[in-house]
Amino acid sequence: ALLCSSAAAVGLLKWLERRQIQQKMEEARRTRDLALERMEKAARWFKQEVVCTQTAHILSLTMVELVEKLKEGSLSPESVLYSYIGKVKALEVTREVNCVIDFIHGCEDQLQKLKKQKEKGLLYGIPISIKDHINCKGHISSGGMVKFLGQVKEEDSVIVQVLKSQGAIPFVKTNIPQTMINYDCSNLIFGQTLNPLNHQKSPGGSSGGEGALIAGGGSILGIGSDVAGSIRLPSSFCGLCGLKPTGSRIRYIPTSVLFLLPPAFVLAVTGMLGPMARDVDSLALCMKALLCQEMFRLDPTVPPLPFDEEVYTSSKPLRIGYYEEDGYFQPSPSMKRAIQQTRKLLEDAGHTLVPFAPPKIDYMVDELFTRGIFSDGAAHLVDCFKGDIVDPNLKSQFNTYRLPTLVKRILAIILKPIVKVSACRSAKNLWDQHGAVAVYRTEFIAKWRKLRLDVMLCPALGPAFNHGYAGKLFAATSYTNLYNVLNFPAGVVPVSTVTRADEEELKRYRGYYRDPWDKRLKEAVEGAVGLPVAVQCVALPWQEELCLRFMKEVETLA
């Protein structure tokens, strides 16, 4: 009787805890729905009060064209903002793909202040979407987790302050996967975000809400973050351009995301914020706006290096390293074809292409990236789930992370490093880990220098995955996480679409190891005919302008 009573009491407590979590989620969803209603009312008010016949024209303009028309006064900031607010609702972008989680209501007050300013910044009147975890005054940064829902931020993050100082208008926050340690885009609070190009596909992650909103036409510029490819993967999946800068070139990932990772990860694997847009010129303009005196004043840890326009606009032929595969995860047929076609276009345009083999990728993924990002054996991440419910799309990863250390070590011998997350057991182990990253970076740069390379062309993971696969294929990020370990600037540019021939060739895909992960990758990318295929462009640290110049060249030729 005592045992039965105890079991019943434990069961009741668990039920009450789960019910409390669900109530918090329901409240967050109600708040989101009210915010979207407020957006709709704002757009409706503008339509009633102001006759705007230019909405379709506004939405068809590139960001550079839009900036020019706003500065010359042929378009007003109101018409642009409300056109995009209306677009989010009018074309059902949010209702169809579930990408917006909050309306930044202060954008209307900011609009009025902007009209009174004499000096127009580089992004004057441009509406911008912001990833969930980036702090905006008066709003939460949930990380897709219940425990952070009640924490309303008291001030804007540095990057939001700088964007506003340049005349940009942050107007919505976008969805992310729970914990952001996943490149799908789903959490139990706000649900699954879909790819606007194909609803059966993921938009990628963790900046998936940004990818879906921009690709769906609801935003012209967004700010994401990237620890293993979280800007580049959604850009690849959604057919966008995205840039992961060098770690401190703009602003390091804010502390609001670090609750998901141990502090030691800061040194071993570099994460950063960066822009996402429909074309490379928009990324360049955003970088130019961010690399300003206001950024250097607000954050003295950012090196005071203004954007070098001369490098970006140069037409000097480039010496380009390239590789079609990394020897760790066999690329899908469309990934490989994208590199082959882009290489040919670059050679025909007068550039020099040099074969390159990235050194020791298995070692980089196993020992440097996986152990670097989970240097505590993922204990901190597992602790974050106390008082929360794990999203089904994250369960495969989460169950791996909480395995006993001995089991992880045994599995790591026979399986890919998705299970190689054993902790650095001493300060010396941690120092050795950081030292190994530095040695690998030195070796990589030496190989780069020996070949006298300017930039690198390499695959971007894709095409877009079917739902539910990203959480089971964390190791497939080897093509992107390499450049987080190295801390090199890297960007993604769409160059083609998946063909029926690619789909036929996929039927013969086996992978390098012919293990469950290789089989899953084949299943993940099936059924993607017509979806975008991207390539990745890379430069050495602090050479964002050169990276963007290379991306622009690829974009123009493709």
Catalytic residue ranges: 131, 206, 230
Secondary structure (H, E, C), 89-131: HHCCHHHHHCCEEEECCHHHHHHHHHHHCCCCCCCCCCEEEEE
Does 496 appear as a known binding residue?
Answer: no
Spatial separation of the C-alpha atoms in residues 305 and 545, rounded to whole Å: 11
Asked if 493 and 239 touch (Cβ cutoff 8 Å), the reply is no
Does 206 appear as a known binding residue?
Answer: yes
Decide: helix, strand or coil at residue 428.
helix
Burial category of 109 from C-beta neighbours within 10 Å (exposed 0-12, middle 13-18, buried 19 and up) = exposed
Decide: helix, strand or coil at residue 512.
coil
Does 228 appear as a known binding residue?
Answer: yes
Does 387 appear as a known binding residue?
Answer: no
Does 490 appear as a known binding residue?
Answer: no
Asked if 398 and 385 touch (Cβ cutoff 8 Å), the reply is yes
CA quadruple 67, 72, 77, 78: dihedral positive or negative? negative
Does 229 appear as a known binding residue?
Answer: yes
**DSSP characters over 138-180:** TSB--TT-GGGTT-B-SS--HHHHHHHHTT-EEEEEE---GGG
State the distance between the two ends of the chain, measured CA to CA, in whole angstroms: 74
Pick from 164, 113, 138: nearest CA to 298:
164
Measured CA distances, 187 to 196, 259, 419 (Å): 18, 17, 23
User: Could you give phi then psi for residue 141, rounded to 5 degrees?
Assistant: -125, 95
Spatial separation of the C-alpha atoms in residues 510 and 202, rounded to whole Å: 23
Residue the block writes with tokens 């955003």: 286
Spatial separation of the C-alpha atoms in residues 354 and 343, rounded to whole Å: 10
In the annotated binding site for substrate, the residues are 180, 206, 227-230
In the annotated binding site, the residues are 180, 206, 227-230
